[in-house]
Every structure is written in structure tokens, then in C-alpha cells.
Structure 1
């Protein structure tokens, strides 16, 4: 009985020890690499604010790092988060944070939102290559659009039903039958829909219906002087464009998770929406920035004719040149930004 009494007396003490141990678990359950990253982020952010730079693929990143005077921060040159490398440094004395997001709209939106949420940035410069949709533009040219649409938010309509009045535009597949007949086609029509923009300036849980996302007007005004800048014409001594590339500010762009290499669809995009370029990320970056209330500008170099060419797509021949011209434009734009940003 004495032994049993002694055991019973110890039970409250054991209970306290167990409960105390449970309270310690959450702190020890946090992986050490996350604690280290959080500490580095705090140190990096104290040195901000930064200009956020978001590009897409390795070709663009290689051109950027080779042709722009990017000076990595000597203490914290980069930070790896969620599989992406965020590079910390300066361009023309301006503090920048750079990331390659990866192909497509999901990657673009995710990386942009992470940049905004985690780091002390004051705006986003998004850049890369794009397909040329406008016959007045050429391969090697650089476009800085004022408006961007998500041209991949669409409904594939029932050929026998559907209220077309609710769409911005629609594409009748039957109009592209070969040989051309009565226009009927079992694929029917595609209706282009509006985005639903949730914004810090809007009413909570009441998104605004939009088709065009505007880039930041003040930044477009700064970029206007870039139209005079010199761009490269040659990939190498034996591969040159027939004319000197130009930079144009204020056109329109389309984004969808589609690489456009089709002349008929290219013409449809230009005739219907008046866009001059097509890419797979810009509207996602722009919409994320506008939703959060951050300045944004998009700079895209034209690498191909989006299907209007004879033979193979030119992106493999001139993609690197378009990427270099884009990087040069990004560098010159950063130079024009005020030092306080």
C-alpha cells in the first residue's frame, strides 16, 4: 500500500512535466532552415525598400545577369525560398531584389505575391520575351504596354446554346474551316470573359469586373524617354535582323497559358483586342500588383512572329537577342527611377 500511495503522489508531478513538454514542442518543431531564412529576411528588409524584378525563363535570366551591371549584396547576395532564388543587390546604385518565376501564369502570380508579402519592395518591374502580334512591330523590338489582358480566361461554348452578349468577344471556330463552307463546326465558339479583380482599393469580397489591367501611369511616363535608346540588331557577326529594333511605350498586350505560333489566331488577337504582343505571365504579375496596390511596369522583347513566319518559329534564333534588348531596357528604366524608391 505504501508503494501505491507513493506512486499516486507522483502522478500530479508527472502530469505537470508532460504538459510542460508539450508547450515546448511548437518552438522546436520549426525547422532550423526556416528560422534562419526568417532572420535573413529581417536583415535584408531593414536595408530596403527595393525594386522588385521578376523575369521568367533561363534565357531571360542569363541575358539579364550578363548584360546588366547587377552588383550582388556582399552580405546577403541571395535567399532561397520555395525553390526560387531571390537575388539581392544593386543596379545603378538602386537596391533591387530579383527572381526568376518560371513559365506560366500560376508561377508568375505566386512569385510576385511572395515577393510582395515577404520582402520590403515598393514596386515590380516585370520583363521577358514575347511573341509579336502587330505587323508594325518587328522581332527584336521592345514593348512597354499600358494595358494587359488575360486572353486565356474563356468559356468554350455549346454550338447550339449560349448567350454571347455576356462576353467581351468570341471566336467562331467555323470561320476557320478549310475549305471554307457554311461556317458550322462542332467546336463551336469561344467566349472571352472578364477577370474578377480583388483589390485593396475595392470593397472587400466584391471584386471588380475588368478586362484590361493598367500598368502604372507614372512609371510609363518615366519609360517614355526609353524610346530613343539604342537596341542590338545582331545576335552575332553572321546573324542580324534586317532593320534596327525600336522600343515602343503605350501599346496593349495579351497573356494566356498559350504559346501562340498560329497565324490565324495571331490575326484574331490583333483584330479583336488590338494587342501587339502575346506572352504567358504579364497579366498575372500586373494583376497581382494592382490587387495589392503596388506600382508595376512590364517590359517585353519581341522574339518571334507568333506564327506569321514562313518555316520554323524564330524564337530559337532571336530569343536571346530579344532577351538582351529587354534587359538593356530594364537597366535604363531602373536608372530613371528616383533614388527614394
Structure 2
């Protein structure tokens, strides 16, 4: 009997647990969420195609949204997918889908691929801020590069290993010893490798070895007319740059999952690759677009000189973001009438 009484003592608790589970509201299943999203996507795409806009983090988003007249779609202003919010609307008569991808190459590639797969887009405009690696450029300037490389695909070599012939460049760590000696260092050297590009223009399962990704020539020609445009010089009445910023089209850029805050490494990037800016997303967006056969342009405002600390970013990051946003707006205006919206708001 003692055993039976002990078991019966659990019955009220069991009833409470079962009752609690019974009254919980049913949450949407993944399949129902996908069906709801698919219905919205079909409606959105019937009103396309769009210009895809991809930026990185909140400061850039705030600068962009405060600088442009973004008019949301009257029926479906946004769609949330995989934790990101894709905003649908128009900017000065052009249909756009906008997303903030998040920092780093994985986020950038994932968001860009998702935008291309899900939405009817004609091409991608990627923008944000970047570190300056070129002494002829200044904080606040805007660069629209013609070529971008992934400068973070490394082979870290043993000190005594002979260098191969396939790498694009080598960084000998021993060259930076202080005091300088015979150049030997146990860290060895770093060889910069090529990417493997799978693309719609190539052979199936036969990637092409590439080091540079070209942005779209036709869009670069349109952007060339932006040189000479007015850019902001002051954050406020008491914080201004020493000279008026400029926009330059046709330079080179480097991307890696590395925030470059080292002057020696900055100089290495410029001396070996001729890059004028360094960021953490652009080559991932460019590679994704080239792989899928979509037009791509990159617009970056220079927020700091790599190697002088992050105080400059804190001071002028918002100004660099606004200047990049102003250039994006001008570029969107220059796109042909085929990008114009077909709905009234």
C-alpha cells in the first residue's frame, strides 16, 4: 500500500503538467511560416524587378535611411527571413529591396545569395564604410572600386618551407622584426591564395582560380559621373575634416574577416595589391554576384586611416556613412527608367 500511495501522490502534479501543455497556444510551424513567406514573395516579385541594396551595420543603415526618401511598399513594406528584415519600397522612383547583412564575409555572402534567390532583383548595390589604405585618399572620401580581392585566404607557411608559385603575394613576418636582424622568424610567412569561383558562366563543378573580382563595367560608367559631387565635410559645427572629401571611381579594394588597425599591414596591402580601402564584406558580395551573373557595384566611405586607432572611426564613421549613402542615392537616380516603380504611393 505504501508503494501505491507514493505513486498516487504524483497524480495532481501530472494533471497540472498535462493541463499546462494543453493550454499553451499553438506556435506557427516552419512549414506554415514558409507558406506565408512564399505567398508574400510572389506578391512582391510580381511588382518587381528591384535594385538590391546591401549594407552592413546599424550606423550605415541609420545614415542611409536618414539621407534618402525611402517610401515603403504600400501593401508589403518588409519581409523577415532568416532573422533579417528585407525592406521593400522605392527611392526616387526606383524599386528597391534593402537589407542590413551584418558584419563579416559569411553574413555578407549569405544575405546577398538570399536576396538573389528570393527576390526579383536586377543587380546589387553594396555600400558602407571602410578603412583607408591609400595616402592619396582621405577620411570622408568615397571610393567606388573597379576590382576587389579577398585578402584573407591565406596559406601560413613554415619558416623553412620554400615558397610556391601559385600565391599572389607573400608577407614575410621576419621583415617586421624589431630590431631588424636576418629576417628569420618562427611565424614564417603568409601566402595569399586565389579564390575558387563557381559561376553560371563557367563549367559545372570546375571552379576558376581568381584573385580579383571585377565590379560591373556598365555601372562603373554610370558612377563615373558622380565624381565631383558634393560630400559632407563636417559632422557638426565644431567637428570638420581639414579638406572637402572627394569621390573616386576605379580604384581597388581588399576584403577579409580582419579589422585592419596596423600601419605596417596597411602599407603591405597597398604596396603589394594597390588597394585603396579595406573592409570585411565587399568581396563576398561581389563574388556572390559574379557567381550568379548579377551586376554589382560597391560604394564605400572612408572612415579612418588603418593603423591610427579606432578613435577616428568613432569621430567620422557617421560622416563616412552619410557620404556613402549620398553616393548611393545619386547612383540610383542615374539608373535607366526601366528601374522605375510601377505602383503609386
| Structure 1 length-normalised TM | 0.90
| Structure 1 residue ranges (4+ consecutive) displaced by more than 4 angstroms after TM superposition | none
Aligned residue for 2:90, secondary structure, equals: strand
Residue 31 of structure 1 deviates from its aligned partner by: 3.2
Equivalent positions of 1:307-326 (< 5 A) are 307=307, 309=308, 312-326=310-324
Q: Could you say which residue in structure 2 is the equivalent of 1:235? A: 235
Counterpart Cα distance in 2 of 1:247 and 1:43? 38
Contact residue 71 and residue 89 of structure 1 kept, 8 A: yes
Q: Could you say which residue in structure 2 is the equivalent of 1:195? A: 195
Distance 1:312 1:326, change over 3 A: closer
Aligned residue for 1:85, secondary structure, equals: strand
Residue 32 of structure 1 deviates from its aligned partner by: 2.3
List per-residue Cα deviations over 1:111-135 (Å, max 9, x = no partner): 0000000000010000000000000
- Runs of 5+ consecutive residues of structure 1 not aligned to the other structure: 1-27
| Structure 2 length-normalised TM | 0.89
Does structure 1 residue 183 correspond to structure 2 residue 183? yes
Q: Could you say which residue in structure 1 is the equivalent of 2:220? A: 220
Q: Could you say which residue in structure 2 is the equivalent of 1:122? A: 122
Q: Could you say which residue in structure 2 is the equivalent of 1:131? A: 131
Aligned residue for 1:301, secondary structure, equals: strand
Does structure 1 residue 59 correspond to structure 2 residue 59? yes
Aligned residue for 2:149, secondary structure, equals: strand
List per-residue Cα deviations over 1:172-205 (Å, max 9, x = no partner): 0000001111111000000000011111011111
Does structure 1 residue 332 correspond to structure 2 residue 338? no
Equivalent positions of 1:38-53 (< 5 A) are 38-53=38-53
Residue 29 of structure 1 deviates from its aligned partner by: 6.5
Aligned residue for 1:231, secondary structure, equals: coil
Counterpart Cα distance in 1 of 2:57 and 2:30? 32
Q: Could you say which residue in structure 2 is the equivalent of 1:140? A: 140
Q: Could you say which residue in structure 2 is the equivalent of 1:154? A: 154
List per-residue Cα deviations over 1:302-336 (Å, max 9, x = no partner): 000011x3x65411110000000000000000000
Contact residue 304 and residue 310 of structure 2 kept, 8 A: no
Deviates more, 1:231-240 or 1:32-41: 32-41
Aligned residue for 2:287, secondary structure, equals: helix
Equivalent positions of 1:30-45 (< 5 A) are 31-45=31-45
Residue 33 of structure 1 deviates from its aligned partner by: 2.2
Distance 1:143 1:37, change over 3 A: same
Equivalent positions of 1:244-259 (< 5 A) are 244-259=244-259
Deviates more, 1:67-76 or 1:144-153: 67-76
Q: Could you say which residue in structure 1 is the equivalent of 2:304? A: 304
Counterpart Cα distance in 2 of 1:52 and 1:250? 21
Deviates more, 1:231-240 or 1:160-169: 160-169
Contact residue 142 and residue 248 of structure 1 kept, 8 A: yes
Does structure 1 residue 76 correspond to structure 2 residue 73? no
Contact residue 226 and residue 329 of structure 1 kept, 8 A: yes
Counterpart Cα distance in 2 of 1:335 and 1:124? 15
Counterpart Cα distance in 1 of 2:157 and 2:30? 49
Residue 82 of structure 1 deviates from its aligned partner by: 0.1
- Aligned residue pairs: how many? 312
Counterpart Cα distance in 1 of 2:29 and 2:87? 28
Residue 228 of structure 1 deviates from its aligned partner by: 1.6
Contact residue 261 and residue 313 of structure 1 kept, 8 A: no
Counterpart Cα distance in 2 of 1:242 and 1:36? 53
RMSD of aligned alpha carbons: 1.1
Distance 1:262 1:30, change over 3 A: closer
Does structure 1 residue 109 correspond to structure 2 residue 109? yes
